[in-house]
Structure 1
Amino acid sequence: MVLEPYVLAVDPGRDKTGVAILTKTAQLVMMDIVSTASVQKELETLLAMYPTITYMVCGNGTNHKVVGSIVKTLAISQERAFAFMNEKYTTEEARRRYFEVHPPTGWKKLVPKGMLYPPVPVDDITAWIIGERWLLVNEE
């Protein structure tokens, strides 16, 4: 049995960082929001839990120099491919996707989706979108 290669995508931030793992066919495996202060430990844990992570992608937005260097160093040390990905407008897209994944209920169904704001951070969904964008550009 051959295990499918995974992509680990990271949305870097000052205080919190979104992470998502996707299959090569862009199916979401998992996503989470972790503290930026503990991002290295969290990524090491994910790499151990998902040994078929082959590609590591980091968004090029807020705090990408710090978080990106951590992701890149881990990728190199574990012989995985690494790339930065343009994350322009991913947060806005993640806010829209939040309501696709969690449709509004009650009176909020009457409010135009463009006027709704997610009640929780969407850094994990942003990482998911960064991973999808990378997969689109790197189709094999």
Structure 2
Amino acid sequence: MVILGFDPGRDKCGVAIRDGDGNVAWHEVIRSEEAMTRLPQICQDHGVSLVVMGNQTTARQWHERLATVLPEMLPIVLVDERNSTLEARDRYWQLYPAKGLQALVPQSLRAISRPIDDIVAILLIERYLRTVESSGGG
């Protein structure tokens, strides 16, 4: 199953694709105003069969908007996104380890040089999969 993770936001959105082999095939932060035009194409290009998105702040509005542009049969599942940004900071340093003198700075004090909404989208996919597995559905 190919899953699109979507972390919606007011200014920017995180998007990630988990391929059928269970690997993160692609992830990117896109501007919110581009999401409605880019997401249908991303879903088509990657053969997405499920969309998971965060359930906080603007989730209801985004869910309604996505339902109007994505294929009718493509399920959109809301996932608990509490503390996902903090978890994404830790994951960022796992994916992109600090180098040089930066590696000597405690991780909690390091500045991340880019938005991490795409990493949140990866985490949302993982949270969804854990929920399915723990309920015996996976």
TM-score exceeds 0.5: yes
Runs of 5+ in structure 1 lacking a partner? none
Contact 1:12–1:68 (8 Å) recurs in 2: no
Structure-2 separation of matches of 1:10 and 1:87: 11
- Alignment correspondent of 1:57: 52
Q: Return the offset for 1:61.
A: 2.3
RMSD between aligned residues: 1.6
Contact 2:63–2:76 (8 Å) recurs in 1: no
- Alignment correspondent of 2:102: 108
- Alignment correspondent of 2:5: 9
Runs of 5+ in structure 2 lacking a partner? none
Q: Aligned pair 1:133/2:127, yes or no?
A: yes
Structure-2 separation of matches of 1:132 and 1:24: 14
Q: Return the offset for 1:74.
A: 4.1
Q: Aligned pair 1:68/2:43, yes or no?
A: no
Fraction of identical pairs, as percent: 28
Structure-2 separation of matches of 1:63 and 1:25: 31
With structure 1 as the length reference, what TM-score do the two structures score? 0.87
Q: Aligned pair 1:22/2:18, yes or no?
A: yes
- Alignment correspondent of 1:31: 27
Secondary structure of 2:90's counterpart equals: helix
- Alignment correspondent of 2:116: 122
Q: Aligned pair 1:40/2:36, yes or no?
A: yes
Contact 2:53–2:78 (8 Å) recurs in 1: yes
Contact 1:98–1:122 (8 Å) recurs in 2: yes
With structure 2 as the length reference, what TM-score do the two structures score? 0.88
Q: Return the offset for 1:40.
A: 1.2
- Alignment correspondent of 1:97: 91
Residues 13-22 or 56-65, more deviating: 56-65
